[in-house]
């Protein structure tokens, strides 16, 4: 079973701010697993976002 990451953990891993997180979810760069009103991710879910973060010079 994969460990689920929270929104804050994802923002920390990708070194992005809240506004960037929201924009990436809206654009489909991040696709959260929504449980109630909370967003969760696995490491596998973040592949494209890591590439976008690198492209923008964040990592």
pLDDT in tens, 20-46: 999 999 999 899 999 999 999 998 888
Q: What is the pLDDT of residue 57?
A: 63
Q: Is the model's pTM score more than 0.75? A: yes
Domain range list for the chain: 5-55
Q: What is the pLDDT of residue 27?
A: 93
Banded pLDDT at 56 (limits 50, 70, 90): low
Q: How many CB atoms sit inside 10 A of residue 23's CB?
A: 13
Percent of the chain with pLDDT over 70: 90
């Amino acid at each position: 079973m994969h460990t689920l990451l929270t929104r804050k953990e994802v923002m920390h891993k990708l070194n992005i701010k809240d506004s960037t997180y929201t924009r990436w979810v809206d654009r489909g760069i991040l696709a959260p697993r929504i449980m109630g009103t909370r967003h969760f991710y696995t490491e596998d879910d973040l592949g494209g976002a890591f590439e976008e973060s690198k492209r923008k010079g964040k990592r």
